Structure 1
């Protein structure tokens, strides 16, 4: 299977690092022009330089915006070229006990993890429908189905993304535009590397070893019994954005290593 996205333009939100950066690479490797997004121009410039080292002939541009803010999101929308592929990857996470999670924290997660995708989809989907082709992908989480007791606010926001993606798929049914959610599980992302930096120094263990220990301690139902790489997550996203995935819409597609213990 050869995925060819030549002539397509993709916006990948929060693509200066982690899973978003890997998705941007995968889409560009398949021929798409990728619009990078981060909170600052400096982070975009750094990410773009790293990508061009590996893909010197690829086409990247970038627009800084904090997508938890409606005004900045609108400014990004106003600056965009016509978009064929929207990957709603922007999101935050963190462990906070439910009884210590105040309204302001709930609002922060809702605006970042949910409303950013609402605003971008509302702005960009109509043109995709008019063209008869488009792809929208929400990067949700296995926590959408396996709500963590220590991150209930996060899990709720990720479950909301599943409802949003399914509803939008039905709203644009028959148009040639697909809308799907991809659900990563424990992943060796930049965020995990930062969290484990001191532990790597203290124990001398590799990030992969610590990731495996984390999975076995906290996600023991994992079938692969390790963390996924960001590239493994990106591979599924790139496929979902391809012409070959034209019959997949309204789906919640797991790349969680089998953490969610069911057969559906």
Structure 2
């Protein structure tokens, strides 16, 4: 299968590292004009340099904006008024006991993980419908279905994304605009690597070994029995954004290594 996104403009929120950067790289490799986003100018410049080194000649640019605020989203859409592909990847996570999670933390997670995608979709989806072609993808998580007891506030936001994506897909009924969610499971992003560095150093082992043990201990239902790579997650997202995925909409697509114990 050859995915060709030449002539399409793709925006990936929070794409200076991890899954977001891998998605941006995959879309640019497929020929899309790709917009990288991060909160700081320095992180955006650094990621653009890395992407241009990996893909010489790729049509890429960057926009620094904090998408956890309405003002940050407004700044981004002013700089990039139209997009054919929107990947809502912005998100934060972190374990915390339920009784210690403050209202401010609930609000911060909701604004970052949910409202960033709502605001961006509200702007870009309108243009996609007018042009009768577009792709919107929400990067959710297997935690949307398996709500973690130590991250209830995070799980709530990931479930909310599924509801929003399903509803938005119905707005595109009968058009060539699709809206889907992608649900990664344990993935070896930079954040996960940082989380495991201490244990690896203490035990004198490689991070990859520690990561495998982490999945087997904390995600015992995993069929893959290891974390996915960011590229493996990005591969599914790039497909969902492609013309070949034209009959897939309103779906919650898992790339979780089989962590969710379900046959559908």
- For this structure pair, what is the TM-score category when the shorter chain's length is used for normalisation? over 0.9
Deviations 1:123-166 (A, max 9, x none): 11011001110000000000000000000000000000000000
Q: State the shift of 1:106 in Å.
A: 0.4
Structure-to-structure mapping, 1:4-19, within 5 angstroms: 4-19=4-19
Deviations 1:193-249 (A, max 9, x none): 111222222223222211111111100000010000000000000000000000000
What's the counterpart of residue 25 of structure 2? 25
**Equivalent pairs, count:** 264
Unmatched 5+ stretches in structure 1: none
Q: 2 CA distance for matches of 1:146 and 1:179?
A: 22
Structure-to-structure mapping, 1:234-253, within 5 angstroms: 234-253=234-253
Q: 2 CA distance for matches of 1:206 and 1:248?
A: 39
What's the counterpart of residue 187 of structure 1? 187
What's the counterpart of residue 100 of structure 1? 100
Deviations 1:82-116 (A, max 9, x none): 20000000000000111111110000000000000
What's the counterpart of residue 201 of structure 1? 201
Structure-to-structure mapping, 1:52-67, within 5 angstroms: 52-67=52-67
Residue aligned with 1:67, SS: coil
What is the TM-score normalised by the length of structure 1? 0.99
Unmatched 5+ stretches in structure 2: none
Q: Name the Cα RMSD after superposition.
A: 0.7
Q: Which runs of 4+ in 1 moved over 6 A?
A: none
Q: State the shift of 1:81 in Å.
A: 4.4
Q: 2 CA distance for matches of 1:239 and 1:203?
A: 39
What is the TM-score normalised by the length of structure 2? 0.99
Q: 1 CA distance for matches of 2:206 and 2:48?
A: 27
